Structure 1
Amino acid sequence: MNSIPDQHGRIAVVTGANSGLGRVTAAELARHGAHVVLAVRNTAAGAEAAREVGGDVEVRELDLASLASVRAFATGLAADHPAIDLLVNNAGVVLLGPRRTTADGFEVHLGTNLLGHFALTGLLLGNLAAAPEPRVVNLSSITHKNAHLDFDDLMFERDYRAAPAYGRSKLATTIFGFELDRRLRAAGSPIVSALAHPGLTRTNLTPRAWEHRGRLGKIMGRAGLLVTQPVEQGTRPQLYAATAPGVRGGQFFGPAGLWETRGRVTEARASRDATDPAIGKRLWSAAEALTGVGYGLR
């Protein structure tokens, strides 16, 4: 990852920076000179990560499953950093157990992976616009390609199944990234909204996703470790989206290998639903209503 340009003078915020993709992303940004804010739910784990990451970093508490926490984080960060150069919406949950909800009553995958980041981005939009070349990077997943949103049941209250719920949340996150780009362009904003996905990557979520299945879950978790790529490789698409010169709004990056599961960075293919402006507009309206965060972008 030595091709990352010099990041000195940039303020970068990485959600979920205490482990997995977020930790490597934060480490690489810091190694290349950025001041990195590790936005984490568990500040003790964040402090440990900060010691290992090194460089110019700070740890701040952020629980994306709580809109109150998102607002408190954004208020403090915005006051201390009037201009923010980069926001990497990396954090996510994948829980294959029974249906759970966030502090605000949202289905936990949609509430954390989409709505928490939607609120965070909107609350920091002014600070991002104040930077010279600002970017927002949303983390997608190849699982979004087989998902479809049900606007009559966004919270999956009927016939809940965890794996489809996760896929829907990543589709929603992908839709958000593309719709944000369309609205920023229309407003003449300097902010670039780009997207990335890591392919099949070996993170702490791989075995944990199967924990509730007992012995079978342990077997499946170990099998997942065998077919996935190292986290350092999986991080490359989002680092490219975050730092490569000339990245344009609406570009989507992922691995170039078979079915976009692993390999060098290339432009990825999003599903038809992910790039549909009508679906984007509808999801945007729903997210604004659910979070109470308005962007002022039409």
Structure 2
Amino acid sequence: MNDKTPATPQLEGRSPIATNIPELSGKRALITGATGGLGFEMAKSLAAAGALVILTGRDATKGADAVGRIAAAVPDARLDYRSVDLASLASIRQFGEAVRIEGLPVDILINNAGVMAPPTRRETEDGFELQFGTNHLGHFALTGNLLPLLRAAPNPRVVSISSGIASFGKIDFEDLQSMHNYNPNRAYAQSKLANLLFAQELQRLSHCHGWNIAALAAHPGHARTDLIANGVGRPKGMQAVLIAVLQRLASHDAAAGALSGLMAAASPEAKALDYFAPTGFLRQKGPPGLSAWPKNAKDEDVAERLWRVSQELTGERFRYR
């Protein structure tokens, strides 16, 4: 990526929208879950740096609104919106086929979309537990569908947006779909750990097969987005009080939370298997910086097994040659 770094503009009364983002003219970035929250902020920053940004989401109305808001803030932004439902393998395949037909390289893929902690067990269209199916399997299948376009780019990056809770996660191969004793937070932690293991195995395969893809990861800290609402609805009672206190002590807004992912996606200094996270209070807020990978995310045997199981579940085999 070009090392030329433009001034970062002030948008909508916020502090600069990005740090250390180079000029990205000629680059194509695709972001899942880009109609709000972290994905929207990352899309805005990459567009401001000159990239052509493809926003994806499930709702075309929200997509059009997001494109309009970014265009108003960044008048020369190059934007496109595409609908894809990561809880549907059919939708992912249809999307992937349409994008592959166009044949244009993808320089930056940010796997950002997510569902967090629905109180009762829910399933995707294909019968997977909603969090594991969307947060991990959906992005696994999407990346496989886009692999030819990533390989067509000169120095592609795939960024997995995880969470600090991944360090508490465990891949339960005996009950990946949380059929028994469903716990929303445990299932969420498993899905976020899976994001990190995916990045590790993707990088290993990229090296083995000469894909030239750099796999990186980031977690946004405690960012004030609608992710929780996507899973559990608005908190009530004591839960609402506790969340309000936590947000006051250890959170930042979506624009600040997006910076970790932006560093992974576009910083000239970033390299394969870098993991970015906030550097402030409990690593839940503050400016982004390099972070150590959780020990449970560095287990090569688990990463390789999860990859094989994910192939079997999704039918997405990747094209190794």
Q: Tell me the TM-score range normalised by the shorter chain.
A: over 0.9
Q: CA deviation at 1:259?
A: 2.9
For the residue of structure 2 that corresponds to 1:235, the secondary structure is: helix
2:138 counterpart residue number? 116
2:74 counterpart residue number? none
For the residue of structure 2 that corresponds to 1:219, the secondary structure is: helix
1:142-186 residue CA offsets vs partner (Å, 9 max, x unmatched): 000011111010001011011110011000111101111111111
* 2:315 is the alignment partner of 1:292: yes
1:91 counterpart residue number? 113
Where does structure 1 lack aligned partners over 5 or more consecutive residues?
Answer: none
Provide the rounded CA distance (Å) in 2 between the counterparts of 1:295 and 1:32.
Answer: 31
* 2:285 is the alignment partner of 1:262: yes
Q: CA deviation at 1:43?
A: 1.0
242-251 vs 151-160, which deviates more?
Answer: 242-251
**TM-score normalised by the chain length of structure 2:** 0.89
1:246-281 residue CA offsets vs partner (Å, 9 max, x unmatched): 422111111112332122222112222211110011
Corresponding pairs, count: 298
3-12 vs 99-108, which deviates more?
Answer: 3-12
1:82 counterpart residue number? 104
Provide the rounded CA distance (Å) in 2 between the counterparts of 1:207 and 1:17.
Answer: 16
1:163 counterpart residue number? 185
Q: 1:223 to 1:209 in 2, by over 3 A?
A: farther
1:24-78 residue CA offsets vs partner (Å, 9 max, x unmatched): 0000111111111111111110100000011111110010000000011111112
Q: 1:297 to 1:80 in 2, by over 3 A?
A: closer
* 2:276 is the alignment partner of 1:253: yes
74-83 vs 87-96, which deviates more?
Answer: 74-83
Q: CA deviation at 1:132?
A: 1.2
- The 5-angstrom pairing of residues 27-176 of structure 1 reads 27-54=44-71, 55-176=77-198
Give the percent of matched residue pairs that are identical in Structure 1 and Structure 2: 37
8 Å Cα contact 1:193-1:250 kept in structure 2:
yes
Provide the rounded CA distance (Å) in 1 between the counterparts of 2:245 and 2:35.
Answer: 24
- The 5-angstrom pairing of residues 239-250 of structure 1 reads 239-250=262-273
Provide the rounded CA distance (Å) in 2 between the counterparts of 1:221 and 1:264.
Answer: 22
For the residue of structure 2 that corresponds to 1:124, the secondary structure is: helix
Q: 1:96 to 1:186 in 2, by over 3 A?
A: same
31-40 vs 223-232, which deviates more?
Answer: 223-232
2:260 counterpart residue number? 237
Q: 1:35 to 1:157 in 2, by over 3 A?
A: same
For the residue of structure 1 that corresponds to 2:211, the secondary structure is: coil
2:36 counterpart residue number? 19
For residue 182 of structure 1, the aligned residue among 199, 204, 229 is: 204
8 Å Cα contact 1:209-1:221 kept in structure 2:
no
Q: 1:137 to 1:204 in 2, by over 3 A?
A: same
Provide the rounded CA distance (Å) in 2 between the counterparts of 1:51 and 1:217.
Answer: 35
1:2-30 residue CA offsets vs partner (Å, 9 max, x unmatched): 53101111111000000000000000111
Q: 1:124 to 1:59 in 2, by over 3 A?
A: same
Q: CA deviation at 1:221?
A: 4.2
Q: 1:119 to 1:145 in 2, by over 3 A?
A: same
Q: CA deviation at 1:225?
A: 3.4
8 Å Cα contact 2:117-2:228 kept in structure 1:
no
Q: CA deviation at 1:229?
A: 0.9
For the residue of structure 2 that corresponds to 1:137, the secondary structure is: strand
Provide the rounded CA distance (Å) in 2 between the counterparts of 1:248 and 1:76.
Answer: 30
2:26 counterpart residue number? 9
Q: CA deviation at 1:233?
A: 1.0
8 Å Cα contact 2:147-2:319 kept in structure 1:
no
For the residue of structure 1 that corresponds to 2:56, the secondary structure is: strand
Q: Which amino acid is 2:153 matched to? A: A
For the residue of structure 1 that corresponds to 2:167, the secondary structure is: helix
88-97 vs 74-83, which deviates more?
Answer: 74-83
Provide the rounded CA distance (Å) in 2 between the counterparts of 1:83 and 1:143.
Answer: 33
Q: 1:210 to 1:83 in 2, by over 3 A?
A: closer
